[in-house]
Structure 1
Amino acid sequence: MKTGKTVGAAIRTGGRRGAMALVMGGVLMLTAACNDDKGGSSADAAASTTAPASADVNGTAAPGGGDTAPKASVAVLAVEPKDGAQDVAPNALQVSVSKGKLTAVEVTDKNGKPVQGTITPDGAGWKPAAALAVGMTYKVNAQAKDDAGLVAASTTSFTTLTPEKKVSTNDNIADGATYGVGMIVSVDFSKDVKNKDAVLKGITVEASDGTVVKGHWFDSRRVDFRPEQYWKPGTKVTVKYRLKSVEVAPGVYGDVDKDEPFTIGRSMISTADAKTHKMTVERDGKSTVLPVTMGADATPSWNGTMVVMSKEKVTHMDSRTVGLGGEYNIPDVPHAMRLTTTGTFVHGNYWYKGMPFGNLNGSHGCISMADLQGGSDSSVAGKFYNDSMVGDVVKVVNSKEKTVSPSNGLGGWNITWANW
């Protein structure tokens, strides 16, 4: 299937800086990189070969803190093509590392189908066994270790080229997958769409319970679909594409006719309160309260409704990916779940050793919970991560920051139905 929207590490232009959690004089300053959303969608961050990262310019977990910051790996990963690249040649993918050896390379298409490939005997490189499919989005996860055993990690994505006079259609849905009640179907096009009404007629989203679903254009290349209220648990949903005969722009036609089914799972809606430093999790009618830290007064978390876009059991966060210096560089942030395109996360924190979570806000926008190095399933963050799925709702209230932009991640719930 050619449809597949990726959500790799990204930052928003004009963004605010990220930061790390520090303990100074008993004061908690927790990690989280920040977004400075100006009301529009953010461009995906180019992958850093030294530290491809998942840091945000306003709300992501900008790790750091404790008495001593973790030491960064000297291994330098390089992935070609660069993160977010479009129109990539099918034979262009290659992964390499200097000052270290590759330990794992996983490449999957948007439906989760793995790409076969082999790490070279010397551990310095990896290439796919065959050319990639055209018009497909791929995700690359790579890890390497230096001589000291320190880990470097990279997560990037790209889309291969589409034949001339066709537009590539990619969404964030995998066939047969299960998502949370806040899931929004987001469809991206590789070229500007001129005939938007014709395209909307060529994409329908049908629910088993008859729920009405509408599309909303954010620009000439992105249209999102959602119902008026959150989905009902157990709903069967089908995205129906009939675009091959649709002229999306003069002389340019769609590329896909296919039905793409998915299912809505149980309900889980979390509300993080910046005043109480607590997050209330409502799961199928049962309530749990978790201690957290959120954005400090100078770098507050976004207000508004966000949706879990992706989950990474371990990810790399580096301040250099948001235009800063070396303020923080954490190669193994555990239990990270992305909430915005620009990089806001809910994540685990093992490096802070000061006042217990739930007492104050010290991050640059992320929602951070107690964890252990390497991630522990029994930690607060580990349990929340294991209970969560893509499409779950996370709301932030009582923050001094403005409401997150509807185009920043799956933020469409912040638009009224009348304006949708």
Structure 2
Amino acid sequence: MIERRTVFTAGLAAGASVLVAACSSGQTGGSGQAGNTAPEPPKAKITAEPAVDAKDAPVNKPVTVKVTEGTLVEVKLTNPGGEAVPGELNAEKTAWTSSEPLGYGKSYTYAVKAAGSDNKTAELTGAFNTVKPAKEVRATLNPADDAEVGVAMPISVKFTAPVKNRAEAQKALEVKTSKDVEGAWAWLSDRQADWRPKEFWPANTEVDVSAKLYGIDLGGGNYVKADVTTKFKIGRNQVVKINTPDHVMKVYRDDEEHASYPCSNGKDADPNLNTPNGTLIVMTREPVGDFSNPQYGYTNVKKKWACRISNHGEFIHENEENHGNIGKANTSHGCVNLYEKDAKAYFDSALIGDPVVITGSKASMPTTSDVLDWLLDWKTWQSKSAI
């Protein structure tokens, strides 16, 4: 964590109360004469959280210093580099709160003074240590900042290590939208959580996602390295619909037909080579795609204007070599083949996250890839939430 100089020289943290000044009294013995009474301790009592000598203190909670029967005069919380951690006093000068996250595996030192209602000074000094992760895990968010995406685009959080405490991680995820949108998080694996709307996004929705994951214990001593955020926009409403026996790919804008292209889809007779049923999304746009597949006897096969629609191997792309079957017969190995001019026109219109709805095939898309969001019904999707 970046540690900056404090704005206000006031205070350290956590749950320890300290009285400075002796607190014993007694009488002299032997002679029977009364002895001197020790000074009264100051009335002001200082507490801090984390307490002095605390171990494994959290890094994602503010440090607080409080006083009763007095006011805080000086609060310093110093990091290992000797720099003060910034924080603020309340108006009554009875509480100080840090305003910057702490660093992992570091020692912080308190130097606190308070003026008591009895005009005596109380002090708190000492140090505490923050939690030291066994491993710092990186989290990433997709879509990226400022992206414009299609109406089926999911939000995806991925981790570089398995997440055991999924509920705690999910509580740190927040989605804000400029339009009312019902949606939910679902864990698609122990390293990935996706958020998708119940129905396709409303066009032109602005989306703000925050994953305040820093300091979250993922389990097994793994902690997230840093918070991540993203802001992106949903574009126009465009949906592709393909009923494979029809040999036609139709493009809809706002539920009205916008374009229609003859196509050749996966072979009808072989379910392993069908263009499988399901709601898929455009995942990549590649001006030239490599479709080599030695398993089926072809190598160094390059096709233009390729839009990937699954991690199962399906694309929408030009295939002039299959020109005679386009619009007439399904002869591909699963891809949607178009004439080159049509493939270019569609490619230019497509956004990452556009839905592609396929029906009419003998086979359905398997739910084995990391982009299966729209292959699950809403009830099943909700069941994958950790909270």
Report the TM-score, using the length of structure 1 for normalisation: 0.56
Looking at structure 2, the residues matched to 230 and 389 of structure 1 have their Cα atoms a distance apart, in angstroms, of 14
Q: SS where residue 380 of structure 1 aligns? A: helix
1:231-288 Cα offsets, whole Å, 9 max, x none, are: 0001001111100111111211112223210000001101111111111110134312
Say if 1:307 and 1:411, in contact at 8 Å, map to a contact too: no
Question: What is the match of residue 294 of structure 1?
Answer: 265
Q: For residue 311 of structure 1, report the CA deviation from its aligned partner.
A: 0.7
| Higher RCO structure, 1 or 2 (CA under 8 Å, sep 6+) | 1
Say if 1:205 and 1:213, in contact at 8 Å, map to a contact too: no
More helix per residue:
2
1:122-171 Cα offsets, whole Å, 9 max, x none, are: xxxxxxxxxxxxxxxxxxxxxxxxxxxxxxxxxxxxxxxxx961112123
Question: What is the match of residue 205 of structure 1?
Answer: 175
1:50-97 Cα offsets, whole Å, 9 max, x none, are: xxxxxxxxxxxxxxxxxxxxxxxxxxxxxxxxxxxxxxxxxxxxxxxx
Q: For residue 172 of structure 1, report the CA deviation from its aligned partner.
A: 3.0
User: Is it true that 1:265 corresponds to 2:235 in the alignment?
Assistant: yes
User: Is it true that 1:359 corresponds to 2:333 in the alignment?
Assistant: no
Measured at CA, do residues 353 and 416 of structure 1 come closer, stay the same or move farther in structure 2, by a change above 3 Å?
closer
Structure 1 residues 35-184: aligned runs within 5 Å: 165-184=135-154
Q: SS where residue 243 of structure 1 aligns? A: coil
Q: For residue 353 of structure 1, report the CA deviation from its aligned partner.
A: 4.3
Looking at structure 1, the residues matched to 183 and 379 of structure 2 have their Cα atoms a distance apart, in angstroms, of 13
Q: For residue 409 of structure 1, report the CA deviation from its aligned partner.
A: 4.6
Say if 1:406 and 1:413, in contact at 8 Å, map to a contact too: no
Select which of 188, 196, 199 maps to 2:166. Answer: 196
Letter in 2 for 1:319: N
Question: What is the match of residue 103 of structure 2?
Answer: none
Q: SS where residue 312 of structure 1 aligns? A: strand
Q: SS where residue 187 of structure 1 aligns? A: strand
Letter in 2 for 1:398: G
Q: For residue 330 of structure 1, report the CA deviation from its aligned partner.
A: 3.6
Q: For residue 214 of structure 1, report the CA deviation from its aligned partner.
A: 1.1
Say if 1:309 and 1:409, in contact at 8 Å, map to a contact too: no
Say if 1:241 and 1:256, in contact at 8 Å, map to a contact too: no
Looking at structure 2, the residues matched to 172 and 316 of structure 1 have their Cα atoms a distance apart, in angstroms, of 25
Select which of 212, 229, 233 maps to 1:242. Answer: 212
Letter in 2 for 1:291: P
Say if 1:342 and 1:409, in contact at 8 Å, map to a contact too: no
Say if 1:306 and 1:409, in contact at 8 Å, map to a contact too: no
Letter in 2 for 1:310: T
Question: What is the match of residue 218 of structure 1?
Answer: 188
Question: What is the match of residue 185 of structure 1?
Answer: 155
Letter in 2 for 1:286: E
Q: For residue 386 of structure 1, report the CA deviation from its aligned partner.
A: 0.2
Measured at CA, do residues 210 and 285 of structure 1 come closer, stay the same or move farther in structure 2, by a change above 3 Å?
closer
Looking at structure 1, the residues matched to 300 and 173 of structure 2 have their Cα atoms a distance apart, in angstroms, of 41
Structure 1 residues 223-372: aligned runs within 5 Å: 223-287=193-257, 288-296=259-267, 297-298=269-270, 299-320=273-294, 324=295, 327-355=297-325, 357-371=326-340
Mean Cα displacement is larger for which, 218-227 or 282-291? 282-291
Q: SS where residue 413 of structure 1 aligns? A: helix
Question: What is the match of residue 413 of structure 1?
Answer: 374
Say if 2:247 and 2:327, in contact at 8 Å, map to a contact too: yes
Question: What is the match of residue 26 of structure 1?
Answer: none
Question: What is the match of residue 354 of structure 2?
Answer: 392
Q: Which has the larger radius of gyration?
A: 2
Say if 2:153 and 2:281, in contact at 8 Å, map to a contact too: yes
Looking at structure 2, the residues matched to 205 and 174 of structure 1 have their Cα atoms a distance apart, in angstroms, of 14
Say if 1:244 and 1:257, in contact at 8 Å, map to a contact too: yes
Q: SS where residue 419 of structure 1 aligns? A: helix
Measured at CA, do residues 278 and 343 of structure 1 come closer, stay the same or move farther in structure 2, by a change above 3 Å?
same
Say if 1:311 and 1:390, in contact at 8 Å, map to a contact too: yes
Structure 2, unmatched stretches of 5+, are 1-132, 382-387
Q: SS where residue 351 of structure 1 aligns? A: helix
1:189-215 Cα offsets, whole Å, 9 max, x none, are: 111100000111111222111313311
Report the TM-score, using the length of structure 2 for normalisation: 0.60
Q: For residue 416 of structure 1, report the CA deviation from its aligned partner.
A: 1.6
Looking at structure 2, the residues matched to 259 and 223 of structure 1 have their Cα atoms a distance apart, in angstroms, of 15
Looking at structure 2, the residues matched to 319 and 212 of structure 1 have their Cα atoms a distance apart, in angstroms, of 41
CA-atom RMSD in angstroms: 1.7
Question: What is the match of residue 62 of structure 1?
Answer: none
Letter in 2 for 1:203: L
Say if 1:319 and 1:328, in contact at 8 Å, map to a contact too: yes
Q: SS where residue 382 of structure 1 aligns? A: helix
Say if 1:218 and 1:407, in contact at 8 Å, map to a contact too: no
**Percent pairwise identity:** 30
